[in-house]
């Protein structure tokens, strides 16, 4: 595990005291919310907003819980008794909710994850957990896609990994350019999925993505 990942893993939920290294306390976080409410033009002392700071902080603990989890640990338990199975393993339509690191606006979409095992497989729930861990951090979609694929490749050491993410970004649908209905598709192909066009086409066919949408992968 890289040093930054260890730091994030050990960070855990915010406490009521200021953490070493300058992490704000829960009280400081709640006060920051009150400041934003005042900046927006409202009164954080009015009845309807009295509990909003604590609610927002609790929401942030949920939204960004991925910082407190280690994806490498999740993938460590694998299974070798697979009767020689060496074909593609694909988990489709993994719904996720993330937040963009530029506007802290929601990113809502689905991820499709596949890999070609060498001699061991991982429980399918672990594939969804990896998506969830990285999604519950401040993200851009390109980085999210690469993190999922790279971690699976590094830890499982398969013949190849394929990840396709299709998501809507509220930072461009509810603000800014205001273009609802637009989704962004990103992909990361490693190993045989990158070097073998037929393997890549098979994966794209399984997840229902026309190959011409990702012809430059």
Of residues 30, 112, 132, 169, which has the active-site annotation? 169
Q: What are phi and psi of 156, to 5 degrees?
A: -85, -20
The reply to whether 153 belongs to the active site is no
Per the residue annotation, which of 103, 112, 170, 215 is the catalytic one?
A: 103
Examine the residue annotation and report whether 178 is marked as an active-site residue of this protein. Answer: no
Nearest to 207 by CA among 191, 182, 183, 187: 187
Given the residues 100, 112, 132, 153, select the one marked as catalytic: 100
Closest CA to 136 of 175, 106, 180: 106
Question: Given 61, 170, 171, 202, which residue is catalytic?
Answer: 171
Q: Measured in whole angstroms, how far is the alpha carbon of residue 8 from the centre of its chain? A: 14
Q: Which helix (H) or strand (E) holds 97?
A: strand 89-100
Choosing from 31, 62, 73, 102, the catalytic residue is 102
Active site residue 171: yes
Active site residue 202: no
Q: Is residue 100 annotated as part of the catalytic site, yes or no?
A: yes
**Among residues 141, 142, 178, 215, which one is catalytic?**
141
Among residues 66, 78, 90, 72, the alpha carbon closest in space to that of 162 is found at 90
Active site residues: 100-103, 141, 169, 171
């Amino acid at each position: 595990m890289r040093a930054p990942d260890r730091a994030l893993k050990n960070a855990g939920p915010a406490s009521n005291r200021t953490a070493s290294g300058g992490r704000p306390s829960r009280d400081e976080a709640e006060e920051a919310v009150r400041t934003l409410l005042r900046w927006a033009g409202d009164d954080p002392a009015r009845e309807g907003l009295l509990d909003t700071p604590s609610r927002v902080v609790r929401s942030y603990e949920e939204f960004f819980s991925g910082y407190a989890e280690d994806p490498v640990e999740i993938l460590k338990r694998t299974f070798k008794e697979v009767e020689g199975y060496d074909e593609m393993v694909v988990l489709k339509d993994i719904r996720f909710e993330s937040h963009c690191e530029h506007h802290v606006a929601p990113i809502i979409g689905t991820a499709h994850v596949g890999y070609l095992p060498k001699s061991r497989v991982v429980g399918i729930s672990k594939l969804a957990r990896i998506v969830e861990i990285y999604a519950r951090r401040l993200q851009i979609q390109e980085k999210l896609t690469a993190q999922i694929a790279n971690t699976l490749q590094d830890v499982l050491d398969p013949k190849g990994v394929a990840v396709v993410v299709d998501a809507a970004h509220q930072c461009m649908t509810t603000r800014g350019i205001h273009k609802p209905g637009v989704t962004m598709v990103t992909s990361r192909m490693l190993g045989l999925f990158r070097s073998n066009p037929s393997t890549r086409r098979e994966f794209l066919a399984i997840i229902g993505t026309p190959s011409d949408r990702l012809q430059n992968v």
